[in-house]
Chain A
Amino acid sequence: MGGGHAPGDTSHGDRGHAHHDAPYEPVFVGAVKDELTEILGRYPTKMAALLPALWIVQRERGWVSDSAMAEVAQLLDLTPAYVKGVVTFYTMYHQHPVGKYFVQVCTTSPCGACGAEKVVEAFLKHTGCGELGATSPDGRYTVIEVECLGACGFATPVMINEEFIESVTADKVPELLTQLP
C-alpha cells in the first residue's frame, strides 16, 4: 500500500482530533523541505507548486489541516484563505482525518450499470462504517463514493489509499478487506 506513507501512520503531529491542542509541527522540514525546493524549480511561479505541496502534506500527515494550509501558504507567498479555496475545490485532499484505509468506490453511470451500488453496500457493511464518509469505530476505514475513476472497462474500480483495484464485485469485498494489513 502506497509505499511507507499509509495515511494510517499516526507518528506525525496533527493526525486525528485528539491532537488539536498540541503545538503544530511543520511539515516542511529537512528532506521534505528539500523536496519542495526541488519541485519549485519546475515552475516559473511559486503558486504552481501548490498542488504538489498539498500532496506532500497529505502524504506526511494523512490529511490537510488548517494549520498545514497556513504553513503551505507562507512557504508559497499565498494567503491561507487562497490555499483553502484551492483545497476545497479538489476532492482528493482530505480536510478531516480519515480512516487508515480510505476506500473510494466509483459509482458513476458505467460502473453503476455494472453493480457498483452493491459494491458500496458491501464495503459499508463489511468495514463497519455504516454510512458514506463516516470512519469505522475502529478507525480503520472510511468509505466514500467517488465520481468516475477512469477505469470504466474494469467495473467496479476501487481505490484503497494509493492502491487501484479493478473489477471489484460485491462478493469479493470481504476477501479484499481481510488482505489489508
Chain B
Amino acid sequence: MGYPHTSHPKETPVLSQYFGDPGARSLDGWKQRGGYRALEKALGMSPADIVNEVKESGLRGRGGAGFPTGVKWSFMKPGDGKPHYLCVNADESEPGTFKDREIMRWTPHALIEGAAIGAYAIGAETCYIYIRGEFTEPLRVMNAAVKEAYAAGVIGPNAMGTGKRIDVHVHKGAGAYICGEETALMNSLEGKRGNPRIKPPFPAVAGLFGKPTTINNVETLAAVPHILNRGAAWYKGMSRGNPKSTGTKLFSVCGNVAKPGNYEVEMGFPFKEFLYELCGGPLPGRRFKAIIPGGSSVPIQTVEEAEATVMDYEGFIAQGTMLGSGGVIVFDDSQCMVKHIARLARFYAHESCAQCTQCREGTAWTTRILERIERGHGTMADLDTLLELADQMTGKTICVLSDSCAAPIVSGIKKFRSEFEAHITGKRCPMGATAAA
C-alpha cells in the first residue's frame, strides 16, 4: 500500500498490508494479524524442506542483485561443524529506496519472523540485523520488538519452545553507504572499516567472522513467512511478466511525482500504469523527463523507455536498466539532468571506501568534471573523457560502487546529451539552476 497514502486497488499488499497500522508493531498485535504462525510451522519442518519451499516460490533477493533466495540458502552446508550466521541487510542507503525502513517501522516482527525462519533454514543460531545508524526510529522499533520476542520466548535459547536456539541481535551502523554491500557489511559488523572483500571466498564459505554466512535483505526475509503460510504456488502465482520474477515487490517512489511513497505490486506490473495511476503522475503542470527505476545505481531511463517497461527483473533489463532495489526516482521537466548526475556522482565519491584506485579517484574526478560542466566551464572533450573514465570504472573493482557511479553518467550523457551540450555551449545552466560564474 502506498504509505503514506491509502492503498490503491491495483496494489497487492502483502508485506505492506499493515504499514501505517501501529497495532501491528507489538508482538500481540502481530500475532493477532497471523504473525509467528509461519515460524512455528517452520520449526516443525526440516531446514531442507524450508529451503525447497523458498526455492519453489521463486523468491529472489530484494536488495538489488536478485539472486534466488532458496538457492543462496542451499549453499549453507548443514552439519559442517562450524557456526553459521545470518545477516540481515537493513543498511538501506541506496538513494531512492526507503522500503525496508517502512517494514521495520510498522512490522518489525515480520522481519524477526522471517529472519528466525531463515536462520533455522541455514543452520544458524545467531542472526544479526545490521540497521543503518541514521534509521533512528526503525532502530528503536526493532530493538523493542527483539526485546519483546526474547521475553515471549519466540526467539532465544528455546525458540518457540522447540529447544532450538535462535539469537537475534540488532547492530547499528554508523554512516556508510558501502556497508550495504554484503561483505562490507560483514567487515563493519566485525568492527572494521566497511571495506568490501575480495570474492572468492564467498560468504557461504567464509563470511562473518570467517564462518559460513548468508546475508539477506529485509524485504526478502519479510516475504518468507507469507510463503510458508500460503505456499510456494501462491507466491509463484503472483507474476504477470516473466515467470522468473515472482511475488510482490515494494517500490519506493520519490522525486517529482504527485504521490511519493511505497507501493507494492505484483512482479510484471506495467510501469506506465504504475507511474500515472498509482503514483498519480507528474506534479501539476509538469511532465516526467527521466526515471531511475531501481535506486540511483542503475541506468537512467527516458520516459519513453520507462513507459514501455514491465516491472520485473527481466523487464527492466529489457529496457536498458535494472530493477535494483526498487527505488524509483522521478525527475520532471523542471530539473537539470547535469546537476542531478553531478550530484549522484558526488554521492558515490563521498561513499567510496577508498580501496580500489578506479573508484577512489574516479568517483572524485568524474564529480569534479561534472560539477565544472554544470557551472558552465565544460568542454565537449570532457564528455568523451567522462565516458572513458566511466568505462575504466566499470567491472574493474572489488565491488560495484564504482560501476554504480558510472551507470548514471553513461546513461545520462547518452540519453540527455543535449543538456550537457547546452551547458557547454551556453557556458551556463540553461535551466537557471546555476548561473555562470
Chain A residues proximal to chain B, CB less than 8 Å: 2, 42-45, 47-52, 54-55, 76, 78, 85-86, 89-93, 104, 107-110, 112-114, 146-155, 159, 162-164
Instruction: Tell whether, in the assembled complex, residue A153 and residue B191 are in contact, meaning their CB atoms are under 8 Å apart.
Output: no
| A residues less than 8 Å from B177 (CB atoms) | 147-148
Complex Cα gap A118–B242 (Å) = 43
| A residues less than 8 Å from B93 (CB atoms) | 147-148, 150
Q: Closest 5 CB pairs between A and B?
A: A50-B191, A91-B175, A92-B175, A90-B174, A152-B254
Stretch at the interface among B46-54, B315-323, B327-335, B380-388: B327-335
Instruction: Tell whether, in the assembled complex, residue A92 and residue B254 are in contact, meaning their CB atoms are under 8 Å apart.
Output: no
Stretch at the interface among B25-33, B37-45, B65-73, B95-103: B95-103
Complex Cα gap A146–B95 (Å) = 12
Complex Cα gap A89–B254 (Å) = 29
Tell me, yes or no, whether B407 is within 8 Å of chain A by CB.
no
Instruction: Tell whether, in the assembled complex, residue A148 and residue B94 are in contact, meaning their CB atoms are under 8 Å apart.
Output: yes
Q: A108 with B175: in contact, given A47-B190, A48-B189, A159-B136 (CB under 8 Å)?
A: no
Tell me, yes or no, whether B217 is within 8 Å of chain A by CB.
no
| A residues less than 8 Å from B173 (CB atoms) | 51, 90
| B residues less than 8 Å from A147 (CB atoms) | 93, 95, 177, 347, 350-351
27 A-B residue pairings within 8 Å (CB atoms): A44-B209, A47-B192, A51-B171, A51-B188, A51-B189, A76-B191, A86-B193, A89-B176, A89-B193, A90-B173, A92-B133, A93-B175, A108-B343, A109-B95, A109-B347, A110-B95, A113-B335, A147-B93, A147-B177, A148-B93, A149-B134, A150-B92, A150-B135, A152-B252, A152-B255, A153-B260, A154-B4
B181-200 contacts to A (CB < 8 Å): 188-194
Instruction: Tell whether, in the assembled complex, residue A153 and residue B252 are in contact, meaning their CB atoms are under 8 Å apart.
Output: yes
On chain B, the number of residues with a Cβ less than 8 Å from chain A's Cβ atoms is 54
Q: A89 with B97: in contact, given A51-B172, A112-B343 (CB under 8 Å)?
A: no
| A residues less than 8 Å from B340 (CB atoms) | 109, 112-113
Tell me, yes or no, whether B304 is within 8 Å of chain A by CB.
no
Residue of A nearest to B134 (CB): A149
Of the residues B98, B132, B174, contact of A54 by C-beta under 8 Å:
B174
Instruction: Tell whether, in the assembled complex, residue A45 and residue B174 are in contact, meaning their CB atoms are under 8 Å apart.
Output: no
Complex Cα gap A43–B191 (Å) = 10
Q: State the Cβ distance, A159 to closest chain B Cβ, in Å.
A: 6
Tell me, yes or no, whether B137 is within 8 Å of chain A by CB.
yes
Q: A49 with B343: in contact, given A92-B133, A153-B254 (CB under 8 Å)?
A: no
Complex Cα gap A133–B230 (Å) = 52
Instruction: Tell whether, in the assembled complex, residue B296 and residue A109 are in contact, meaning their CB atoms are under 8 Å apart.
Output: yes
| B residues less than 8 Å from A151 (CB atoms) | 98, 101
Tell me, yes or no, whether B156 is within 8 Å of chain A by CB.
no
Q: A150 with B101: in contact, given A54-B174, A110-B95 (CB under 8 Å)?
A: yes
Q: State the Cβ distance, B318 to closest chain A Cβ, in Å.
A: 25
Instruction: Tell whether, in the assembled complex, residue A148 and residue B172 are in contact, meaning their CB atoms are under 8 Å apart.
Output: no
Tell me, yes or no, whether B362 is within 8 Å of chain A by CB.
no
Tell me, yes or no, whether B265 is within 8 Å of chain A by CB.
no
Tell me, yes or no, whether B12 is within 8 Å of chain A by CB.
no
Tell me, yes or no, whether B262 is within 8 Å of chain A by CB.
yes
| A residues less than 8 Å from B194 (CB atoms) | 89-90
Q: A152 with B329: in contact, given A52-B172, A91-B175, A108-B95 (CB under 8 Å)?
A: yes
Instruction: Tell whether, in the assembled complex, residue A152 and residue B97 are in contact, meaning their CB atoms are under 8 Å apart.
Output: yes
Tell me, yes or no, whether B165 is within 8 Å of chain A by CB.
no
Q: State the Cβ distance, A125 to closest chain B Cβ, in Å.
A: 20
Instruction: Tell whether, in the assembled complex, residue B136 and residue A150 are in contact, meaning their CB atoms are under 8 Å apart.
Output: no
Q: State the Cβ distance, B396 to closest chain A Cβ, in Å.
A: 23
Q: State the Cβ distance, A87 to closest chain B Cβ, in Å.
A: 9
Complex Cα gap A90–B133 (Å) = 10
| A residues less than 8 Å from B98 (CB atoms) | 150-154
Complex Cα gap A8–B188 (Å) = 28
Tell me, yes or no, whether B281 is within 8 Å of chain A by CB.
no
Residue of A nearest to B354 (CB): A89
